[in-house]
Amino acid sequence: MTVQQIKQRFGIIGNSPMLNRAIDVAIQVAPTDISVLITGESGTGKENMPQIIHNLSKRKHGQYIAVNCGAIPEGTIDSELFGHEKGAFTGAHDARKGYFEVANGGTIFLDEVAELPLLTQVRLLRVLESGEFIKVGSSKVLKTDVRIIAATNVEMSKAISSGKFREDLFYRLNSVPISLPPLRDRKDDIGLLFRKFAVDFAEKYHMPAVRLDDEAEALLEKYAWPGNIRQLKNISEQLSVIEEERNINADILRRYLPEIARSNLPAVTSKNSSGSSNDFTEREILYKFLFEMRQDISDLKTIVLELLQNRNPSGAVRTGNPAAVKRLYEDASPETDSHSAPYASSEPAADYDISREEEVHIDAHEEVEESLSLEQTERDLIVKALKKYNSRRKPAAKELGISERTLYRKIKEYNLQ
């Protein structure tokens, strides 16, 4: 069958190249038994693809079962999919067949597959690899011949990296990927879809169909449609039922288009196992050290300027001997308290000339020779904290602003045993 024939048969509206490509892939893969993973945002019509694949396959006379994995509680999902034996758990008064047993020879569509618990993912992986499964409360291995088609609106790479989805299961399901475009990428199809929905609701509610003027249609195409086709259908229904005026202008339409809240500011949160936000990530520790180093340099600059002003009340230092100025910097330790009395020599510096023609402006980032290695700085601060508290990790970790677990790991990393 052609793409156009498939659209007519399944009531698919639109001529987007991305939509046509998705339908074409579904047609090509249908005669095989390869697993298919359909991705796309919520409301893009992902449920149409498994129906196309099933009806064009050799399994079209077998069972087709659609399962919303996100709607089944975690405690019963295994029983729903694989069945259970009598007495397997409280309330299991009779044995029950699961979807994989009922759909033997047919197709199972697992919608929102990323919501499956990890233990269920292990069972599903075994079905994909060998066609075997075990009922809940049983030890008998059963065989099934089921084609699995899955769909998700979750970005799978993030789900895998966060440990919520098994990578090996993803590759099993993703033998053939089909991606459905969001409605905002199908601008030429938005008007067609709205008119189709308007006619459908006019027939359903026995009233004339609503129509959009040019300005309203342009507004419709510019809107981002976070809810995709489902949201467009809902707005079409609202206009059909609520508005007495059948000709819809932009002002009327705008009242039905919710504003989309956008924020370009990233939010970074960090919580430990107790739920508090006192624990720091490694990156935050490095930031903390950098800020402390900057404060130390600022304090050092203040101390050196006070030293120079005490030696020369005019606040200027001649360049007769730059080495003497450098020695003044080296004598001022970053650990000196900036609020204590500044060091002042009772003897004049004999190796540099004092006059009023030239002045040296002190710039901390030019003269201060300080190690800027983050690892070395971090190691030194940890050593100081441990010495201060006699190797007691808990107060040392509190002093550093990190968790005791992180401090223990850093001690091992820097071999501070």
**Could you report the average pLDDT of every consecutive run of 10 residues in the chain (417 residues)?**
91 93 96 95 94 95 95 91 88 89 96 95 95 92 96 94 95 95 94 95 94 94 94 95 93 87 42 43 64 76 76 49 50 44 42 43 45 72 86 85 82 79
Q: Is 65 in contact with 99 (CB distance < 8 Å)?
A: yes
Specify the fold of 374-413.
Arc Repressor Mutant, subunit A (1.10.10)
| Cα R_g (the chain), whole angstroms | 35
Identify the pLDDT of residue 261: 42
Q: What is the Cα–Cα distance from 397 to 408, expressed in whole angstroms?
A: 9
Q: Which amino acid is at 348?
A: P
Token digits for 388?
């201060």
Identify the pLDDT of residue 417: 66
> Which residue spans within 283-397 are E strands per DSSP?
none
Provide the β-strand partners of residue 65.
Answer: 108
CATH architecture type of domain 184-254: Orthogonal Bundle (1.10)
Provide the β-strand partners of residue 324.
Answer: none
Specify the fold of 3-181.
Rossmann fold (3.40.50)
Q: What is the Cα–Cα distance from 146 to 46, expressed in whole angstroms?
A: 20
Identify the pLDDT of residue 338: 41
> Residue 111 belongs to what H/E stretch?
strand 107-111
Provide the β-strand partners of residue 310.
Answer: none
Domain boundaries, the chain: 3-181, 184-254, 282-367, 374-413
